[in-house]
Amino acid sequence: MTDAPPDRFPPGTRVRTFRHDPPHHTRLPRYARGKRGVVVEPEGPDELPDISAQGRGDAPVEQIYAVRFAARDLWGEGDHHVVLDLWESYLEADERSGADER
């Protein structure tokens, strides 16, 4: 495994998950696809399981981020938050928002 590049999303950054439905394994839960959240903290780098689960030896190493979502945004109800550990390639900056949430 090689080292991942510096963190792309610092804590407090608003992000959105990609809405994709790959024909293979992914660690991005279906209920969280296309949803907006806030980065809590980086969790460290690891191999992208989407590739390594296919038995390939060329899985890239990516930063994993703890991302907080409002339960109501995921399921339409709930006053709590859900935190998911997500690989960097599942995320993009949420251009819709202005300020970071720190």
pLDDT tens per residue across span 15-74: 999 998 877 788 899 999 999 999 999 999 998 888 777 777 788 899 999 999 999 999
pLDDT band, residue 5 (cuts 50/70/90): low
- Domain coordinates of the chain in residue numbers? 14-93
Task: Tell me whether strands 91-93 and 81-87 are parallel, antiparallel or unpaired.
Answer: unpaired
pLDDT per residue as tens digits for the range 86-100 = 999 999 999 875 544
Report pTM: 0.84
CATH of segment(s) 14-93: 2.30.30.50
pLDDT at 102: 45
